[in-house]
Amino acid sequence: MKSRLLRLLQQLGLLGGAYRTYERLQALSPLGREAAADDGLPVPPARLRVRVAGTADRDWFLEGGRRAEESIRAALARHGAAVEELGALLDFGCGCGRVTRRWCRLDGVHGSDMNEEAVAWCRANLPFGRFETNGLAPPLAFAGDSFDLVYALSVFTHLTVDLQHVWLRELRRVLRPGGLLLLTTHGRAYLDGLSPEEREMFDGGEVVVRWEDVAGTNLCSAYHPESALRGPLGAGFTFLELVPEGATGNPHQDLSVLRKD
């Protein structure tokens, strides 16, 4: 029923607008109340929280960010790195800074997102970082070899395969040699939600993408078999690991670690 309605909206050219309306309605939830956060930083408004977390729930916004920090620290530790020792890091698809705010005591923190309102909020409220906007497709506003760490949490989950390829090349460009890339993706934990045809594609090593014409929104959903990440998508990187459901701040998503050599 839901898919039929979405297909009808797609045929009418109304899919993107209808999805934005759905997000606005979610932001009206009573869970969207504002209150100061323990980290002393302002909490973004509900409509921005919905776009990064899928819910206006302020407590989950903060707790999910804390868990994401934990999973990033643990991944770095497994590969002999620590966030305090990095020269510079980039949160690609930072949204309104749910995870970026966790690095408020560090130097060299950068964020980039295609959502201008979210980036404006970060610039105004997270003064420790440098925030830039980018388009749906590359480039980024940063020079080559700028970062020791780039992470993209629940971003490649919302892009077409073509966009994923060009963004992986761009993220590789801005990483320094030896730098790490952390990516989260929908993997085997999501298999039950796929149709038989999608499941066949996934099992055959293909990335499944739904609602490609609204790429960059949370309605567009990509599902990644490990072999696609280790193979064509990971070209130019050394693929270090995929941890099933390892993205604890983006529950049930897999966490992959790649290195630019």
Contact set with ligand SAM (CB under 6 A) = 51-52, 93-95, 98-99, 113-115, 118, 134, 136, 153-155, 158-159, 216, 218, 250
For ligand SAM, the closer CB: 81 or 119 = 119
Measured from the CB of residue 152, what is the shortest distance to ligand SAM in angstroms? 7
Q: Is 161 left (phi over 0), alpha (psi -120 to 50) or beta?
A: alpha
For ligand SAM, the closer CB: 204 or 220 = 220
How would you write 87-110 as a 3-class SS string?
CCEEEECCCCCCCHHHHCCCCCEE
Measured from the CB of residue 225, what is the shortest distance to ligand SAM in angstroms? 20
Please name which of 137, 48, 153, 146 lies closest in space to residue 100, comparing C-alpha atoms. Answer: 153
Measured from the CB of residue 196, what is the shortest distance to ligand SAM in angstroms? 27
Measured from the CB of residue 244, what is the shortest distance to ligand SAM in angstroms? 18
- Token pair 């993997």 is found at 187
Q: Are strands 175-185 and 237-247 parallel, antiparallel or unpaired?
A: unpaired
Listed in sequence order, the DSSP H helices in 99-139 are: 116-125
| Strand partners for 258 | 181, 239
For ligand SAM, the closer CB: 166 or 199 = 166
For ligand SAM, the closer CB: 92 or 202 = 92
For ligand SAM, the closer CB: 218 or 248 = 218
Q: Are 46 and 56 in contact (CB under 8 A)?
A: yes
Measured from the CB of residue 192, what is the shortest distance to ligand SAM in angstroms? 21
Tell me, what DSSP letter sits at residue 213? G
For ligand SAM, the closer CB: 69 or 198 = 69
Please name which of 227, 241, 138, 261 lies closest in space to residue 183, comparing C-alpha atoms. Answer: 241
Of all helices (H) and strands (E), which one includes residue 257?
Answer: strand 253-260
Measured from the CB of residue 20, what is the shortest distance to ligand SAM in angstroms? 12
